Structure 1
Amino acid sequence: MRPETRLRIAYVLVFVAPSLWAANYVIARSAVGVIEPHALAFFRWLVALLAMLPIAWPALRANWPAWRREWRDLLVFGALGMWICGAFVYIGAKTTTGMNIGLIYAISPVLIAVASVLWLGDRLSPRQTLGLAIAVAGVLLIILKGSPGALLSLRFTPGDLWIVAAASAWTVYSLMLQARPTVLDPFARLTAIVIAGLVVLTPFTIAEAIVLGPPKLDTKTLVLVVAAGLLPGFGAYQAYSFIQKQLGPARAGVVLYLGPPYATAATWLLLGEQPYWYHWAGTALLLPGIWLVTSGAAARHKKSPNREGSG
């Protein structure tokens, strides 16, 4: 494929990738009452693994003696990325809206920037500090439903708390990917993490099936599982990796900025979740906030091209 063609595809994927991530919020809400959270997370990543393994197998086999020593890291990554960021989202979807899932999750880039200061020794510039304040204001506006007075009697729904936990886990996951060395390329490493994630998910999925019953083998369940595995599981990760390779990490960051409006639009159009003024106002604050916080980080990554940023 010619370089010009790759660039065109990458620019198209900039607008496609956020829809693949947003699909997970629609799937999460659609799965309520159809398939239990751990079962959906387990089979989602099993489907994704079946798509990824043929591509990653040569690298995994060639580096097996070296990467098998990373098993502890892989189990931690699997617990954070596939269990907490998977099943917890589906648990949260029972008592919060898909719109709230997407908008609360949108704070992850900001949390990553802040945690980088505390953990990796990065520094927030005044511009990034301003962006942090704006983004946090946007999330609070959504959580408080536009009523500052509600802060005194603030009560999160259980679902909101599950999503906050998942977003926090994604922050730790992303930072650990940068901090922990590996002998694998990003795609092969992600495949190994998915394998570890399935190991972590297995006992929880079995326990869930014993207590609540096994998942129903019907068309709707199958569609949800395959969609979760191929869209946010396999497709979103591969689209983002392709964008990052062709356009660089700074331009790939546009995908993060498009996440909130895509999540709002998807849940509105597909689930009929009516957005209120505070959703749009919160999104209007989130977008420039995320941009201000992450643009400085992107510039530092351009100066440090060997720093891993796959996720």
Structure 2
Amino acid sequence: MSSTHQRLTLNAAAYLILATILWGGNAIVGRWFVGHLSPALLNLFRWIIAAAVLMPFAWKILLPQSLLWQHKKRFLTLSLLGVGCYNAFLYIALETSSPINVTLIGASMPIWMLLIGSIFYQNRVNPWQMLGAVVSIIGVTVVLSRGNLDGILMLKFVPGDMLMVAATLLWACYSWMLSKPGKSPEKQWPWTEFLLAQIVLGLIWSLVFAGFEFSLGLSQIDLSPSLSWPLLIFCGLGPALIAYRCWSAGVAIAGPNIAGFFGNLIPLFTALFAAALLGDMPHLFHAAAFGLIVAGIVISSQLKTPSKKGSTNLRPKN
């Protein structure tokens, strides 16, 4: 078996950290929308905003002669996993769960990345990656327990948490698909076209989910111009457009396994954002957790192995 070529560079780290910062904020904002906008509609609206921003720069990818349509099955799958299911599941989970619980479950991302890569992509898992996963998850536990391990016993899990488990698994599959374009020419496309292709096809899935939500009588819209619309625009530009671009670029450089470890920064940023909104300044345990999570990332990036002959990585153009 072979291992995916992995290089943790400063550029890759910057891309992945920015994505996790935005997704940390997304958990807080998504929870705020509970009672104001139903989950499927929230997911649909944010992708409409992202598509509207990208359209002037990447509309050619949607032309009938575009190579996109020759690989529509791949992009329908990518858009289902990354645009449709993951975010819809996350927002539904936040209906009954808390941002901290949701991001705690997301901390299992490195494990799912390693398992998916090993089972479906013949990626060799080395001891450094397993050790890095353990160290990084300990850092997440420090955040959630606020430096007191007894605090972790106070966390309560609800049915929405299981939906987040499914979302995390699907995101791991999506990330591995990003790094394995196969015969698809997407690695030669500008990143705007690559992302718009996913979003436009993802809108199909988002519409299906929104229609299903409406048929069950669960749709809800109660938006205020002063706060709801600015937060919705943030969801469309930050966690959707910018974060997806950064994650794609980071995965292209570092590989899915290492990128998965950066997901453990999301609970830290979520906790910091929640603390900031409550007027609570960061504490020493936040610094300790950050150190452990970063240590896990560094450890997991050790023991590089060459990539399989002829394999390619997705490298979106800047």
What TM-score bracket applies, with the shorter chain setting the length?
0.7 to 0.9
* CA distance in 1 between partners of 2:16 and 2:199 (Å): 24
Counterpart CA distance in 1 for 2:149 and 2:167 is 24
Partner of 1:3: none
1:116 is displaced (CA, Å) by 1.0
Report how far residue 93 of structure 1 moved.
1.2
- 1:306 is paired with a residue of what secondary structure? coil
Distance 1:172 1:39 in 2: 24
1:289 to 289, 293, 296: 296
Distance across 1 between alignment mates of 2:268 and 2:156? 25
The structure-2 alpha-carbon separation of the partners of 1:240 and 1:118, relative to structure 1 and needing over 3 Å to count, comes to: closer
Distance 1:16 1:173 in 2: 19
Instruction: Output the amino acid matched with 2:22.
Output: L
Are the aligned partners of 1:39 and 1:205 in contact in 2 as well (CA < 8 Å)?
yes
Paired residue secondary structure (2:313): coil
**1:236 pairs with 2:227:** no
Query: In the alignment, is residue 25 of structure 1 matched against residue 27 of structure 2?
Result: yes
1:301 deviation in Å? 6.4
Code of the residue aligned with 2:120 in structure 1: it is: W
Q: How does 1:97-176 map to 2 (within 5 A)?
A: 97-136=98-137, 146=149, 156-176=157-177
Q: Which residue matches 1:58?
A: 60
Question: Aligned pair in 2 of structure 1 residues 86, 257: CA closer, same or farther (>3 Å)?
Answer: closer
Displacement of 1:232: 0.5
Q: Distance in 1 between matches of 2:79 and 2:17?
A: 28
Alignment match, 2:79 = 78
SS at match of 2:96: coil
* Letter paired with 2:199: V
| 1:212 partner letter | L
- Does 1:261 pair with 2:268? yes
Which whole-Å CA distance do the structure 2 matches of 1:169 and 1:243 have between them? 18
| Greater mean alpha carbon deviation, residues 225-234 or residues 100-109 | 100-109
List alignment gaps of at least 5 residues for structure 2: 1-9
Amino acid at match of 2:52: L
CA distance in 2, matches of 1:11, 1:139: 18
Q: Helix, strand or coil: the match of 1:32?
A: coil
Aligned-residue offset at 1:282: 6.6
Q: Which amino acid in the other structure matches residue 212 of structure 2?
A: A
Which digits, 9 at most, give the CA deviation of each residue in 1:167-224, with x for residues without a partner?
Answer: 1110011112233432232542321111111101212212323402442353243223
Corresponding residue number in structure 2 for 1:208: 213
- 2:312 paired residue number: 306
Cα drift, residue 164 of structure 1? 1.5
TM-score with structure 1 length normalisation? Answer: 0.76
Please list every run of 5 or more consecutive structure 1 residues that lacks an aligned counterpart in the other structure: 1-7
Contact 1:99 1:267 (8 Å CA) reproduced:
no
Find the aligned partners of 1:282 and 1:105 in 2 and give their Cα distance: 16
For the 8 Å contact 1:110–1:294, the answer to whether it is kept is: no
Q: Between the two proteins, what is the percent identity of the paired residues?
A: 27
User: How many Å separate the matches in 1 of 2:46 and 2:232?
Assistant: 5
Inter-partner Cα distance in structure 2 for 1:89 and 1:287: 25
Aligned length: 296
C-alpha RMSD over aligned residues = 4.0
**Cα 1:279–1:87 shift into 2, 3 Å:** farther
Superposed displacement of residue 18, structure 1? 3.4
1:268 Cα deviation after fit: 2.0
What is the CA-CA distance between 1:31 and the residue it aligns to?
Answer: 0.8
* 1:131 shift after superposition: 1.9
Query: Which residue in the other structure is 1:5 paired with?
Result: none
Shift in CA distance, 302/258, structure 1 to aligned 2, threshold 3 Å: farther
Deviation at 1:101, TM superposition (A): 2.4
Whichever structure has more helix as a proportion of its residues is 1
Distance 2:77 2:108 in 1: 22
**Structure 1 contact 110–293 (Cα < 8 Å) conserved:** no
CA contact (8 A) 2:106 2:264 kept: no
Shift of 1:258: 4.3
Quickly say closer, same or farther: Cα 1:296–1:24, change in 2 above 3 A: farther
AA partner of residue 167 (structure 2): A
More displaced 10-residue stretch of structure 1: 107-116 or 274-283: 274-283
The alpha-carbon distance between structure 1 residues 242 and 183, as it changes in their structure 2 partners (threshold 3 A), is: closer
- Which residue identity does 2:57 align to in structure 1? I
